[in-house]
């Protein structure tokens, strides 16, 4: 069995069906003798560029071990699903670490004030 991870983006109007999609895709993997090791629902996030006139989407990451046949079947189902905007499957190295949830670049008001204040003060 080879380790894979698939990330897919669900249409924002289909947000209530994220769990259904995830369960359906898990069953496909497990039905072809694969094992799902981790499912991360990252939630609604901004897209880097518009896809089908959408600026947001629900991101879901699935890590699993399976045969190439299971990956082909999973990708076929992802392609046929109307609510999936994009997907990507990557074969992992055996010693790969799990990726962390991407962080949104946010600066708190206190951090912004202190950094602005530091820039305005001349050094002695």
Alpha carbons 12 and 85: distance in angstroms, whole number: 9
What's the pLDDT tens digit per position in 32-53?
A: 999 999 999 999 999 999 999 9
Check whether 26 has a pLDDT greater than 60: yes
Tokens 């499957």 sit on residue: 89
> Model pTM?
0.73
Give me the chain's average pLDDT, please: 83
Listed by start position, the domains of the chain span 2-95
DSSP 44: E
Tokens 């901004």 sit on residue: 46
Beta bridge partners of 87: 8
Instruction: Tell me which fold the domain 2-95 belongs to.
Output: Alpha-Beta Plaits (3.30.70)
Closest C-alpha to 22, from 59, 70, 51: 59
Beta bridge partners of 59: 9, 43
């Amino acid at each position: 069995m080879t380790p894979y991870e698939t990330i897919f983006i669900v249409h924002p109007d289909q947000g209530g069906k994220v769990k259904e999609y995830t369960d359906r895709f898990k069953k496909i993997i497990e039905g072809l003798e694969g094992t799902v090791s981790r499912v991360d629902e990252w939630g609604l996030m901004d897209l880097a560029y518009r896809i089908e006139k959408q600026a947001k989407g629900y991101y879901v990451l699935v890590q699993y071990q399976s045969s190439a046949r299971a990956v082909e079947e999973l990708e076929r189902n992802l392609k046929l699903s109307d609510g999936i905007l994009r997907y990507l499957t990557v074969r992992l190295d055996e010693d790969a670490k799990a990726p962390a949830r991407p962080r949104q670049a946010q600066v708190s008001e206190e951090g912004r004030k202190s950094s602005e204040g530091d820039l305005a003060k001349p050094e002695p």
